[in-house]
Amino acid sequence: MLVKLNNIIMFALIAFFISWILYPIYISILKKYKLGKTIREVSVTGEKSKIFSEMHEHKQGTPTMWGGIFLIVMALMIWLSYVLKDYGLINNTLFNRQETYVLLFGFFSMWLIGLLDDFLNIKWFGKVKWLSAKAKLIGMVVFSAFISRWFYSRLGIDYVNLWPIAGKISLGLFYPILTFFATIAIVNAINITDGLDGLAGGLMTIILFVLGIMLFFNQTYIATTVIAIVVAILVAFMFYNIYPAKIFMGDSWAFALWGLIASLLYFLNMRTWILIPFIILFWLFIIDLLSSFLQIFWKKYFKRKLFLVAPLHHLFEKRGINETTIVMKAWFIQWILAAITVIILFYQVSKIFTN
């Protein structure tokens, strides 16, 4: 186990330093070709988003599409794993059918859709356009359907484990339906929360760190290595994304992360009691998602806003709370949620070894 841990740390450190070196170059390229963020002028319900535009006008033009760095670094790390395997230094490459195929597919397929949306955002100056919305919707549906079918039909998974509330529950045909809608919810939650400098990146770093611990204790070391690499790239990203951000995550990375998280969630469901711990771990994203949903619902059916602005982190910002204060407190709460999740994880592991 210690040898596996050493390999995981080695890959993570290499990924971190490569990312650290490449970020300034990548940011310069984005600036040169004016691939910067355009602040949206219209909300998802069609009316002018005046409050949001006023609060974030100063961020106009900040380089976006950070997901390109992940493509470069992960490709290098996969290549390095083949080299190390050829020299007999490790036993497996990072491209592994049993552990990483579905995770890497989830990440890269959704990265491509997010990249398309980033380009549309830049080209159309942030306005809500039909083609962009259609591209995202089609991508969400196709990916969600593929992942749901893969786990249900190819791997024969039709159950969830609701420990400690209940045990393993077989859902039959309802399993792919549940995973389909859960995947859609995860992408929207991550996309909505990506609204303040360092917010989504910091929260996702903590969440993926905890999920990596779960993978490690389930002895899926190759998948753990992939997650460690993602966390390392995220940590390097945070040096350039904290306030004032020099680069934004963009939909290319936000979409890629939700593709990875969704795939990882269903992958872990095969091996451990993940659903209840994940709900605890993902709680801040769920709150932001619910606040946006309620805002849209209220405007559609009651013809007025429930909140002055949504999601919740923008409401705090509008109320006069400093952006960095909101982000730091969110990180603090996320670490508490992570600690609770890890305690639950270790309790599960101890019960397994006791039995």
What pLDDT digit, counting tens, does each position of 199-256 carry?
988 999 999 999 999 899 888 999 999 999 999 999 998 888 888 878 877 777 777 8
Closest CA to 345 of 205, 169, 213: 213
Closest CA to 186 of 147, 231, 154, 159: 147
Closest CA to 106 of 225, 264, 269, 260: 260
What pLDDT digit, counting tens, does each position of 114-168 carry?
777 766 666 554 444 444 556 666 777 777 788 888 888 877 888 887 777 777 8
Amino acid 210: pLDDT:
94
Token pair for residue 271? 């091996």
CA dist 95 and 81 (Å) reads 9
What pLDDT digit, counting tens, does each position of 14-41 carry?
999 999 999 888 888 877 776 655 555 5
CA dist 126 and 349 (Å) reads 47
Where on the phi/psi map is residue 317: left (φ > 0), alpha (ψ -120 to 50), or beta? Answer: alpha
